[in-house]
Structure formats: structure tokens, C-alpha cells
Amino acid sequence: MKAKVKVTLKNGVLDPQGKAIEGALGSMGFGGVNSVRQGKYFEVELAETDKAKAEAQLKSMCEKLIANTVIENYEIELS
């Protein structure tokens, strides 16, 4: 089973990398960019075939390693 995991900073958490990208885009002539927030994207391939079990495993992986749940949110998409 394949999974996509998207990790983003929670609202209110400062994002210096996003701000740097926003500034760089402006200096490159890309006007009208009001805000940039950066994140992480993971593709995970699991041997598990049961969707519920795979989702539980991925949630555990995110909570323990993939995401810093104090400052980050995560979304899991299974296929």
C-alpha cells in the first residue's frame, strides 16, 4: 500500500524559510505573492494491505518521527 504524507507548520508558527522564499520571489519579479508557507512531503510504501492497519501505522510513524506535532500538522493519503 502506498501513502502520501504532507507535513505543514501549524498556523501561528513562524516560518522563516517561507518568508525567505516569499522575499526571493518578489525580488525575482513575481509580484502579488502575499504569503509562502513551506512544508514536507513523504511517500511511504507499506507491506500492509489492510487500510485501517496501514493508517494506524502511519499515524504512529508521524507522531513519533515524521512530524513534530508540537509545531506541525500532518495529513495522510492512502492509495
Burial 1-39 (b: 16+ CB within 10 A, else e): bebebebbbeeeeebeeeeeebeeeeeeeeeeeeeeeeb
pLDDT at residue 69, rounded to an integer:
97
Q: Which CATH architecture has domain 2-78?
A: 2-Layer Sandwich (3.30)
pLDDT at residue 31, rounded to an integer:
92
pLDDT at residue 6, rounded to an integer:
98
pLDDT at residue 68, rounded to an integer:
98
Burial of 45: CB neighbours in 10 Å, binned 0-12, 13-18, 19+:
exposed
| Total-model pTM | 0.87
Backbone angles phi, psi at 42, to 5 degrees: -130, 145
Spell out, as residue ranges, where the chain has pLDDT lower than 50.
Answer: none
- The C-alpha atoms of residue 48 and residue 55 are separated, in whole angstroms, by 10
pLDDT at residue 29, rounded to an integer:
96
